[in-house]
Amino acid sequence: MSDHMQPTSPLSEGEEVLTSFRADRATYVRANTWLAAGAMAAGMIVLWLLGNPYVWTGAVGGLLAVAVRTFYLMSEELSVRWDLTNQRLLGPQTRAIRLSEVKALNTLGSMVQVVTLAGDKHLIKYQANPADTIARINAACAGGAT
């Protein structure tokens, strides 16, 4: 597992990690399967529009492109960890968001988008249950346990 995709911000006095959010392997594979299906369809449509008699090669090209990307990035994407503390949301490396700065939490498929008061946006990717991730962050923001 890649340590550079873990939070490295030191905890403040009185700060404790309540829970951690890691990318889910099955969710990662499912999301990339849908991406591959879309790439296959798009490749075939483009070739059909161009009048290419070998439309089926668009499906092969789309599948191969997404498969290579999926396997190449898998170890890194699955090593990402976000830690939720009683004061902050700590992301990979030195990303740190004070809970008081969280403006909105949105679901984007299997991802949770964290929007800050300053307008910064962060993604907690490939969550098996994005609604639960949002509920835990909201509970911490409200001062409750997760």
Sign of the CA dihedral with 110 first, then 84, 137, and 135 last: positive
Rg (CA), the chain: 19
Chain CA centroid to CA 50, Å: 35
Enumerate domains of the chain plus CATH numbers. Answer: 3-9+17-23+81-141 (2.30.29.30), 26-77 (no CATH)
Q: What average pLDDT does the segment 42-49 reach?
A: 96
At residue 4 the predicted structure's pLDDT band, cuts being 50, 70 and 90, is confident
What predicted TM-score, i.e. pTM, was given to this entire model?
0.82
pLDDT at residue number 31: 94
Average pLDDT for the chain: 93
Percentage of residues of the chain with pLDDT beyond 70: 96
DSSP assignments along the chain, one per residue: --GGGSB-PPPPTT--EEEEEE--HHHHHHHHHHHHHHHHHHHHHHHHHTT-S-THHHHHHHHHHHHHHHHHHHHHHHH-EEEEESSEEE-SBT-EEEGGGEEEEEEETTEEEEEETT--EEEE---S-HHHHHHHHHHHHTT---
pLDDT at residue number 144: 64
**Residues 103-136: pLDDT tens digits?**
999 999 999 999 999 999 999 999 999 999 999 9
At residue 25 the predicted structure's pLDDT band, cuts being 50, 70 and 90, is very high
pLDDT at residue number 143: 82
